[in-house]
Chain A
Amino acid sequence: MAEVALHQVVKKFGDVEAVRAIDLDIPDNEFVVLVGPSGCGKSTTLRMIAGLEEVTSGNISIGGEVVNDLPPKDRDIAMVFQNYALYPHMTAYENMSFGLKLRKFSKAEIRQRVEHAARILDITELLDRRPKALSGGQRQRVAMGRAIVRNPKVFLFDEPLSNLDAKLRVQMRTEIKRVHQKVKTTTVYVTHDQVEAMTLADRVVVMNKGLIEQIGTPHELYHHPRTRFVAGFIGSPAMNFIPCRLEQSGAGLRVRISDAIAFPVPTANEGRYRPVAAKELVLGLRPEHMTEPRHNGRDDGCDFTATLDVVEPMGMETMVYFTINGTEICGRVEPKSAGEAGSAMRLHANIDHMHLIDPASGAVI
């Protein structure tokens, strides 16, 4: 049980800066997910916490102690790898007990710990098998068991689910969450899958190009992204980004996205947006806020008509794609109200949920 803190941590590979001076504080027991596209430095960050990479500068501390120069084995961490990294010549039991054996635990203690972990993970019957005789999900459990038996200060997960098929991934995701709730160890989890990040994390750290874009709860990231990158990265299908212009309209403000279409800014937000009036901006609106009109015919000025390019029925809902001023936009509508491709459809922009983004800085205003 320990908190993890990164202070101005930098990692360079030759001239390439993989991680650029990041700060991150993880309280005890928290489940933190590092998420971002490949090459964003999330894995490097995790490997630095593990001690598999040296920090170029800055400090990493675990449980209040600076561990920059400690080898991995003395950091009291456990790691689950993407390809499981189970020792192929050892049984599941031996795999899980190897670290304890090297630390000279007594046989009885090892047995007790392994059996306890096996019960948590429901792999008691698999303990005599070699990794080759295990399925992907079972290997994943053994790899987690190897981490649990050590009872470390910190769990580190490096994309542990990306080698599993879609169905198993969902199952194991729940499993990881359940295990964390049981053992309550501080956890750092790396993934490129934002759904995984949202579902698992107490807090999500979105990284891009070696920097932290935003740290927050899944809810915060989804509803209050601070940058265009975060807004676009979190949520599926991704947020629509539509070039727009904020113009004066009487006393209020209007977001104009084409000659024909402009939406009135809710009065509550006017104060926030007043300074950027008359500027070229980007309107960010999620597909679920681009729906068929749902207000019993009373137009609040946010309805518009578009010709559908593509219609994708998903069952519960239907995705519609249309183009405004050369920008492809995705909307999410009730299956029964969706038109056919090529036909015109009346749509409604739920402008209460809009984000306005400064195209130059990428910051959400």
Chain B
Amino acid sequence: MTSTTMALPASHPARKSASLKRDRRWALITSYVFLVIFAIFFLIPPYYMVVTALKSDAEVAHMATNPWIVANGFTLDQFKILFTQTDFLIFFKNTAIVTTCVVVITMVVSVLAAFSLGRMRFWGSSILATGIFLTYLVPDTLLFIPLFQIVKAFGLLNSYWGMVLVYPTLTVPFCTWIMIGYFQSIPKELDEAALIDGAGHMQMLLKIFIPVALPGIIAATIFAFTVSWAAFVYPMAFLYSADQQVLTVGTVTSLIRADVYKWGMLMAGALVAAAPPLVIYAFLMDYYIAGLTAGATKG
């Protein structure tokens, strides 16, 4: 790991520059070799999912050919089956509704709170900020059993509206936390200037803070979106009929339960279900990554 992973400029004053150059080139080549190996490890499952989804049922079932390639011709049959003969589109619609609602609720709640905690301060506000971080660390698997009772009490068991109720526990604390960090990084003079210009609190938030902290808003929105799109424990515990099911659970339970495992169709379903987060990631990678790292470096 030493010489291969650390190709910082070599530092032997005695050596000639030609050998320095050679050292660097070798370090670079080793880096690429190892990166390719890791990339293969990281990309095997998605690759195999794509390959499977493009095969015919017969090819998947018989294993007569190399499973890693599409040998008997590409087909989109699996997607056709998925969309026409299963409840997949219902799951997709449910997930879209739940995610949209949760993202809106999360952003409104956390931006308001972050503005207040990061900028205005009141009695107990710093304790609250710490408390928010701690609630972010409470995992859903600790909460799903008591929440089962609460969702039931609301009469929302087996309704995707129940998800709109409970998903914010996954998204709000973290989004608030990183928005506090973003808001605090805005210079104090900016709100003082706005104050002198005659802005009230709401105008300051809407016209100054939100536009200036837009990268943070985008990062938080992406976080809220990906988390509610991928949530699994709550729907697994609280939803059971197909018309209310969301994508993650629907794909791994309802589609499987159908009859024999139709792996091609399952993989097609998993791919379509995973597509929205992947598309967002592809286009907004920098914001996505900023949101990921913000939790540990901001606030």
Residues of A within 8 A of B (CB): 50-52, 71-73, 77-79, 81-89, 98-99, 102-103, 146
Contact = CB atoms under 8 A, between A and B. Distances in A.
Contacts of A79: 192-193, 196
A72 B196 contact: yes
B211 interface: yes
Contacts of B197: 73, 98-99, 102, 146
Interface residues of B, number: 17
Q: Which of B187, B195, B198 has the most CB of A within 10 A?
A: B198
Interface of B: 187, 189-190, 192-199, 203, 207-208, 211-212, 214
A87 B208 contact: yes
25 contacts: A51-B195, A51-B196, A52-B196, A72-B196, A73-B197, A73-B198, A73-B199, A79-B192, A81-B192, A82-B189, A85-B190, A85-B192, A86-B193, A87-B194, A87-B208, A87-B211, A89-B212, A98-B197, A98-B207, A99-B196, A99-B197, A102-B197, A102-B198, A103-B198, A146-B193
Q: Which of B190, B193, B214 has the most CB of A within 10 A?
A: B193
Contacts of A82: 189
Contacts of B194: 87, 98
B204 to A, nearest CB: 10
Contacts of B208: 87
A102 B212 contact: no
Contacts of B193: 79, 81, 85-87, 146
A120 B214 CA distance: 33
Contacts, number: 58
Given A79-B193, A81-B192, A81-B193, A89 B199 contact: no
B195 A52 contact: yes
Nearest to A75: B196
A217 to B, nearest CB: 29
Q: Which of A50, A85, A86 has the most CB of B within 10 A?
A: A85
Contacts of A98: 194, 197, 199, 207
A87 B214 contact: no
A117 to B, nearest CB: 14
A142 to B, nearest CB: 12
A52 B198 CA distance: 12
B214 A50 contact: no
A71 B195 contact: yes
A73 B190 CA distance: 14
A102 B199 contact: yes
Q: Which of B192, B196, B212 has the most CB of A within 10 A?
A: B196
Contact of B198 (A50, A85, A88, A99): A99
Given A72-B195, A81-B189, 18 more contacts: A50-B196, A51-B195, A72-B196, A73-B198, A73-B199, A77-B196, A78-B196, A79-B193, A81-B193, A82-B189, A85-B190, A87-B190, A87-B193, A87-B208, A87-B211, A87-B212, A89-B214, A102-B198
Contacts of B192: 50, 52, 72, 79, 81, 85
A86 B212 CA distance: 11
Contacts of B214: 89
Nearest to A52: B192
Q: Please name the 6 residue pairs, one residue from A and one from B, whose CB atoms are nearest each other, closest first.
A: A99-B197, A73-B198, A85-B189, A89-B211, A85-B193, A102-B198
